[in-house]
Amino acid sequence: MGHRTPPAAAIFASVLLATPALAQTMPPPMITVSGEATISVAPDRAEIEAGVTSDAKTARDASDANNAAMGKLLLALKAANIDEKDIQTSRLSLQPQYAPNRPGPSPVVGYQASNRVTVRLHDIPKVASTIDILVGAGATNIGGIGFSVSNASKLLDDARGQAVADARRKAEIYAKAAGVTLGAPLDISEQGAPGPMPFRKMAAGMAVSPTPVAQGEETLQVTVSVSWAIKQAGP
């Protein structure tokens, strides 16, 4: 059976039917820009990591000595009116200690036990005095201090509005340069996970403390990407 050539009318009808579908897949004219906003605020919460390390000939002696030292530390924190729910164990270990610089397998010469806690403070001025309390109670290491903002979510909401305004400002500059006007926003997306960016500065009023502490500021940053519809500017 031979092949028949489709009528021209049928081909034309097929093109007409395909054209709207093709048009629907084409993205509308748009300008896509990013907007940024940062808000700096003094932190109102702090976390201190502190712990005790004990060495002994046997694992039991090292563990007992470490438990006693940590008990003294916890009692000192309780006496400083720090709530139990704000004290959390962050690391607990018991490790053998080996003789150094020995040929072949090194014998175990003792054991080292360590216990570390994270102390959360809701009053920044107490950071320096709390460190002094920890050291005075026998803390053998202070692992680090972190600051944060309790109402960061609300502050980030304010920054989001500012970031969108910044994106519009940039889009209007591009639109004017291209001879077009902005329409409605077609897409708004937040880039990455917003969060604090540490910025350190010396805190006023801390210099008189035996342990000077710089609380600095937390800089909350938000970046958004916004696509705006565009149309030709009028005469």
Q: According to the model, what pLDDT value does residue 14 have?
A: 47
Name the nearest CA neighbour of 73 among 125, 17, 139: 139
Q: What is the CATH number of domain 28-42+152-232?
A: 3.30.110.170
77 vs 204 pLDDT, higher one: 77
| DSSP bridge pairs for 35 | 224
Give the CB-side neighbour count of residue 155, counting CA atoms within 13 A.
18
DSSP letter (8 states) at residue 234:
P
**Residue 46 and residue 120 in contact, taking contact as beta carbons nearer than 8 Å:** yes
**Res. 147: pLDDT tops 50:** yes
The pLDDT mean for the chain works out to 82
pLDDT bin (cut points 50, 70, 90) of residue 106 is confident
Give the CB-side neighbour count of residue 82, counting CA atoms within 13 A.
28
Q: For residue 100, how far is the Cα from the chain centroid?
A: 41
45-100: pLDDT as tens digits: 999 999 999 999 999 999 999 999 999 999 999 999 999 999 999 999 999 999 88
Indicate the residue type of 101: N
Give the CB-side neighbour count of residue 130, counting CA atoms within 13 A.
28
- For 48-148, the fitting CATH number among 3.90.1150.10, 3.40.50.1820, 3.30.70.2970, 3.65.10.10 is 3.30.70.2970
**Residue 159 and residue 222 in contact, taking contact as beta carbons nearer than 8 Å:** yes
pTM (predicted TM-score):
0.61
Q: Where in the chain is the domain with CATH 3.30.110.170?
A: 28-42+152-232
Q: Compute how many other C-beta atoms are within 10 angstroms of the C-beta atom of residue 129.
A: 16
Q: Tell me how many degrees the CA angle 212-217-221 measures, rounded to the nearest 5.
A: 155
pLDDT bin (cut points 50, 70, 90) of residue 197 is very low
Burial classification of residue 135, based on how many CB atoms lie within 10 Å of its CB (0-12 exposed, 13-18 middle, 19 or more buried): middle
Give the CB-side neighbour count of residue 10, counting CA atoms within 13 A.
4
% residues pLDDT > 90 (the chain) = 57
Indicate the residue type of 123: D
Q: Compute how many other C-beta atoms are within 10 angstroms of the C-beta atom of residue 69.
A: 21
Q: Compute how many other C-beta atoms are within 10 angstroms of the C-beta atom of residue 89.
A: 11
7 vs 27 pLDDT, higher one: 27
**Residue 212 and residue 201 in contact, taking contact as beta carbons nearer than 8 Å:** no
pLDDT bin (cut points 50, 70, 90) of residue 189 is very high
Q: Where in the chain is the domain with CATH 3.30.70.2970?
A: 48-148
